[in-house]
């Protein structure tokens, strides 16, 4: 039994590493797609293809119980799919994949601060230090005179997408608890694709059909790997290890993204990046280590792991607040 439990934890850890590696690769895939498509068209193609992946599940998961709840899903998709994705990809179009990935390292400190403000968690010294380190690290990465490629506007757009993902999880959580992670992800992706089909052509014009094989490969990678495959991997690991341990794996996403940007895309490594990156990553680890005292209530750990999943275009399996919330409908 001990060996089986240990094996399960190893597989869970491998699943979490796989999910964060896929999320980190989204910056690489995004940069490849942006060589031919605008930011809006990249997001539109990604979620139209993702909708095709998720569509068969729509006939097997619980449907919105009323028109009002369908409206809540539609509004959540507008915030969580359209706004987060457009901010992130618009930022990626203006900065490097390396710096954009590193900006995701601001997620744990943001979630920790949100937990203090909204969830009334204690303000610990570790949270304060992580916030200071994150701000100083961002100042080096964004404001260093040697640049390192990209613009401050692009970096800040990605940071804004992280902030929106934290707010999104706080707004969405009642639906996730009620319907479960898979059903919520299915309806978010389907409603999000519908929003994008309506809104992106108004801003960017009709979507062109990509002509380069590399663009199609990148779009399929974004839709299938980064959106479709990452969700079950993340939730499998989360169910076994719990939010407190899983939150530490979130920090691998910017690490993978930075490595792919430098090694595959050949992006420059500036002095500001060399100084700022360790500070941002250290801040992320400190915030994730802080945790919250009661594992049976929704707190900073849960907020970190669920917001990280939202950045990937889906939602994480929620940990119940009460016994009444312990089972999704269906």
User: In percent, how much of the chain has pLDDT > 90?
Assistant: 33
Assign 328 a pLDDT band (cuts: 50, 70, 90): very low
The reply to whether 326 falls in a domain is no
Contact in structure between 80 and 10 (CB atoms under 8 Å): no
CB 92 within 8 A of CB 160: no
Q: Token pair for residue 220?
A: 């399929």
Instruction: Please give the average per-residue pLDDT across 107-113, as a whole number.
Output: 82
Label residue 145 by pLDDT band (50, 70, 90).
low
240 in a structural domain: yes
Q: How confident is the model at residue 149 (pLDDT cuts 50, 70, 90)?
A: low
Give the range among 51-55, 61-65, 278-282, 291-295 with minimum mean pLDDT: 291-295
Q: How far is CA 48 from CA 57, 297, 319, in A?
A: 15, 35, 29
Which residue range(s) make up the domain with 147?
2-320
Predicted confidence at residue 47, as pLDDT, reads 96
The 3 state secondary structure assigned to the chain is: CHHHHHHHHHHHHHHHHHHHHHHHHHHHHHHHHHCCCCHHHHHHHHHHHHHHHHHHHHHCCCCCCCHHHHHHHHHHHHHHHHHHHHHHHHHHHHCCHHHHHHHHHHHHHHHHHHHHHCCCCCCCHHHHHHHHHHHHHHHHHHHCCCCCCCCHHHHHHHHHHHHHHHHHHHHHHHHHHHHCHHHHHHHHHHHHHHHHHHHHHHHHCCCCCCCCHHHHHHHHHHHHHHHHHHHHHHHHHHHHHHHHHHHHHCCHHHHHHHHHHHHCCCCCCCHHHHHHHHHHHHHHHHHHHHCCCCCCCCCHHHHHHHHHHHHCCCCCCCCCCCHHHCCCCC
Sign of the alpha-carbon torsion through 265, 271, 272, 276? positive
- The band of 46, judged by pLDDT with boundaries at 50, 70 and 90, is very high
- Reading phi first (left if > 0) and then psi (alpha if -120 to 50, else beta), residue 242 is in left
**Average pLDDT for residues 210-219, to the nearest whole number?**
97
Output the pLDDT for position 242.
77
Is position 325 within any domain?
Answer: no
> Is residue 146 exposed (0-12), middle (13-18) or buried (19+ Cβ within 10 Å)?
exposed
- The Cα–Cα gap between 285 and 279 comes to 10
Q: Do the domain assignments include residue 328?
A: no
**What are the CA-CA distances from residue 126 to residues 13, 20, 178, 289 (Å)?**
25, 24, 33, 9
pLDDT at 327 over 60: no
For residue 304, being part of any structural domain is answered with: yes
Is residue 329 domain-resident?
Answer: no
Domain count, the chain: 1
What's the confidence (pLDDT) of residue 326? 35
- Interval 151-185: pLDDT, tens: 888 889 999 998 998 888 887 777 877 888 888 88
Task: Output 13 or 89, whichever has higher pLDDT.
Answer: 89
Is the predicted pLDDT of residue 143 greater than 80, yes or no?
Answer: no
Q: What is the pLDDT of residue 16?
A: 86
pLDDT tens for 90-103 read: 999 999 888 888 88
User: For residue 134, what pLDDT band results from cuts at 50, 70 and 90?
Assistant: confident
Which residue carries 């797609």 as its tokens? 33
Whole-model pTM: value is 0.84
Computed over every residue of the chain, the mean pLDDT equals: 83
Q: What is the pLDDT of residues 227-256, one digit of tens each?
A: 888 888 888 888 787 776 777 788 788 888
The pLDDT of residue 147 is above 60: no
């Amino acid at each position: 039994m001990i060996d089986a439990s240990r094996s399960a934890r190893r597989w869970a850890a491998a699943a979490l590493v796989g999910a964060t590696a896929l999320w980190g690769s989204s910056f690489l895939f995004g940069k490849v797609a942006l060589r031919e498509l605008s930011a809006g068209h990249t997001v539109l193609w990604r979620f139209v293809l993702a909708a095709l992946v998720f569509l068969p599940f729509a006939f097997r998961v619980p449907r919105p119980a009323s028109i009002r709840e369908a409206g809540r899903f539609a509004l959540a998709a507008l915030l969580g799919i359209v706004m987060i994705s457009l901010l992130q990809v618009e930022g990626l179009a203006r900065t490097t994949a390396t710096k954009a990935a590193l900006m995701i390292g601001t997620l744990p400190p943001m979630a920790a601060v949100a937990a203090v403000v909204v969830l009334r968690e204690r303000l610990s010294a570790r949270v304060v230090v992580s916030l200071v380190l994150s701000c100083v690290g961002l100042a080096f990465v964004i404001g260093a005179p040697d640049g390192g490629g990209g613009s401050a506007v692009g970096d800040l757009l990605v940071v804004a997408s992280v902030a929106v993902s934290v707010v999104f999880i706080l707004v969405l959580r009642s639906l996730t608890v009620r319907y479960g992670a898979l059903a919520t992800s299915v309806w978010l992706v389907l409603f999000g694709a519908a929003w994008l089909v309506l809104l992106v052509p108004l801003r960017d014009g009709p979507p062109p059909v990509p002509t380069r094989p590399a663009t199609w490969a990148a779009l399929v990678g974004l839709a299938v790997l980064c959106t479709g495959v990452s969700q079950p991997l993340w939730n499998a690991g989360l169910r076994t290890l719990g939010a407190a341990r899983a939150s530490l794996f979130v920090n691998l996403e910017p690490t993978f993204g930075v490595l792919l940007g430098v090694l595959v895309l050949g992006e420059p490594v500036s002095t500001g990046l060399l100084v700022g990156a360790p500070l941002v990553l250290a801040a992320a680890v400190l915030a994730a280590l802080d945790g919250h005292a009661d594992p049976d209530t929704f707190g900073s750990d849960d907020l970190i792991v669920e917001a990280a999943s939202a950045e990937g275009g889906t939602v994480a399996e929620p940990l119940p607040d009460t016994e009444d919330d312990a089972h999704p409908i269906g």
